[in-house]
Amino acid sequence: MKKILPDLIHRKEGRRMKVIDGGVTAPKGFLAASTAAGIKYKDRSDMAMIYSTVPCKAAGTFTTNVVKAAPVLYDKKIVTESKSVQAVVVNAGIANACTGAEGFGYCEDTAKKTAAELNIAEDAVLVASTGVIGMQLPIQKLESGIEVMAKELSDTREAAHQAACAIMTTDTISKEVAVTFEAGGKTVTVGGMCKGSGMIHPNMCTMLGFVMTDAAISKELLQEALSADVCDTYNMISVDGDTSTNDTVLLLANGMAENPKITEKNEDYRKFCEALNYVNTEIAKMMAGDGEGATALFEVKVIGAKSKEEAKILSKSVVCSSLTKAAIYGHDANWGRILCALGYSGVEFDPEKVDLVFESDAGSIQIIKNGIAVDYSEEEATRILSEPAVTAIANMNQGNAEATAWGCDLTYDYVKINADYRS
């Protein structure tokens, strides 16, 4: 099955930042490691560790699912109450969700072991898990993995990449992005990694995302920047409409760039938010394009809406439509499904004003003008929709607001993957 590659997922770089080849070790002072602990998978890495050589300010966003995994409950407490954080430990294969007091205790055990190995405080450790719900973690294997990773921490590009690979489940590609920008005469770096391929319909964040920065910034503004940004990034993607029990995005800032500390919403803060948005947007799009069984990234851009909120609702309604997703898989310009999805979104609009265009690297073609199909070539539309990244642009002609959502096509393989996910 053809999968979309990271280099196909791009947008224009902001003029005030530079995109670099990097991940979580790109910012100063951050190290990473990974190992094969045998938690569920065989013959592959399944644990990752991120460590800062100095204490960090920490921010986080978490699933709004009423059923929250033990690591979510644990991390929410640490992010809120701990003065600083220095390490994150992640495992793949078992989600540690719906595991009761025993599962929460394993979070505490993981933090305790990590703290002992790294000589840091227990409340300076965050944990994250992804995989099968309802299984208890083999804590002895986790602790053995922590011992190995603590000795192998490195700031190399390869260490970051291997960490990104270790946290994958049904993902087919690792997901990493890094950028730099100037603040107060200092170079500031933001680097991130994430995993996510199925059970992707975030509400406040994504499956698992980890963003590191060497920016000097207050904890309050760090949290505000992250909370605001997830609304336009992770919350605008969907693979299958299922919000996970484990959704977590963690943002750590260690201040080692030595820029003047950002304590107010000045120009440096705006630059930081711009860089954070780029990293979050790109890894979110990578998740959407790597949806389980997917062959195409499906982008839906709504323009000419009355408000940004309405544009968001409209774009997500289309990107979540199973019928539309199936049409994208079949390279079929079935515009009626898109118009239908706009219509049941809950947003009031005049259907006789809607224009629709399909775009890809193969070209652009208008399908609807004023709510009615134009005389277009089905062959040309199919050619455009056969690319690994396609965009539907719906102009509501109702106002000046716009929003973009990202998803993927719906294939036979999605059902195959999820029919026996636990095996």
**At 280, which CATH number?**
3.60.70.12
Is there a single domain that holds both residue 156 and residue 78?
yes
Is there a single domain that holds both residue 189 and residue 116?
yes
Q: Which domain holds residue 265?
A: 6-289
Residue 101 lies in a domain: yes
Name the region of 375 (left: φ>0; alpha: ψ -120 to 50; beta: rest): beta
Is there a single domain that holds both residue 94 and residue 195?
yes
Residue 1 lies in a domain: no
Q: What is the pLDDT of residue 13?
A: 45
Residue 107 lies in a domain: yes
Q: Is the pLDDT of residue 3 over 70?
A: no
User: By the 8 A CB rule, do 325 and 408 touch?
Assistant: yes
Please identify, among 289, 317, 340, the residue that sits at the C-terminal boundary of a domain.
Answer: 289
Is there a single domain that holds both residue 320 and residue 191?
no
Residue 390 lies in a domain: yes
Token pair for 338: 């898109």
Select which of 114, 189, 206, 281 is catalytic: 206
CATH code for the domain of 304: 3.10.20.340
**Residue carrying structure tokens 């851009």:** 301
Is there a single domain that holds both residue 124 and residue 99?
yes
Is there a single domain that holds both residue 130 and residue 251?
yes
Is there a single domain that holds both residue 407 and residue 391?
yes
Is there a single domain that holds both residue 145 and residue 123?
yes
Residue 375 lies in a domain: yes
Please identify, among 238, 273, 289, the residue that sits at the C-terminal boundary of a domain.
Answer: 289
Within 8 A by CB and 6+ apart from 373, the residues are 335, 367
User: By the 8 A CB rule, do 243 and 198 touch?
Assistant: no
For residue range 159-192, list pLDDT tens digits in order: 999 999 999 988 888 999 999 999 999 999 999 9
Residue 126 lies in a domain: yes
Neighbours of 32 (CB within 10 A): 30
For residue range 114-128, list pLDDT tens digits in order: 999 999 999 999 999
CA neighbor of 334 nearest in space, from 408, 385, 387, 265: 385
Please identify, among 232, 260, 289, the residue that sits at the C-terminal boundary of a domain.
Answer: 289
Residue 313 lies in a domain: yes
Is there a single domain that holds both residue 13 and residue 117?
yes
Q: Is the pLDDT of residue 241 over 90?
A: no
Tell me, what amino acid is at 233? T
Name the region of 139 (left: φ>0; alpha: ψ -120 to 50; beta: rest): alpha
Q: What is the pLDDT of residue 8?
A: 40
Q: Is the pLDDT of residue 5 over 70?
A: no
Q: Is 206 a catalytic residue?
A: yes
Is there a single domain that holds both residue 279 and residue 301?
no
Residue 414 lies in a domain: yes
CA neighbor of 251 nearest in space, from 224, 212, 217: 212
423 vs 111, more confident: 111
Within 8 A by CB and 6+ apart from 249, the residues are 60, 61, 62, 194, 205, 206, 208, 209, 210, 211, 226, 230, 234, 280
pLDDT band, very low/low/confident/very high, at 59 (cuts 50, 70, 90): very high
Tell me, what amino acid is at 416? K
From the number of C-beta atoms within 10 Å of its C-beta (0-12, 13-18, 19+), residue 186 rates as middle
CA neighbor of 247 nearest in space, from 75, 82, 413: 75
Is there a single domain that holds both residue 261 and residue 327?
no
Domain total of the chain: 2
pLDDT band, very low/low/confident/very high, at 423 (cuts 50, 70, 90): low
Mean pLDDT, residues 135-164 taken together:
98
CA neighbor of 190 nearest in space, from 11, 18, 326: 18
For residue range 339-393, list pLDDT tens digits in order: 999 999 999 999 999 999 999 999 999 999 999 999 999 999 999 999 999 999 9
Is there a single domain that holds both residue 322 and residue 274?
no
412 vs 71, more confident: 71
Q: Is the pLDDT of residue 211 over 50?
A: yes
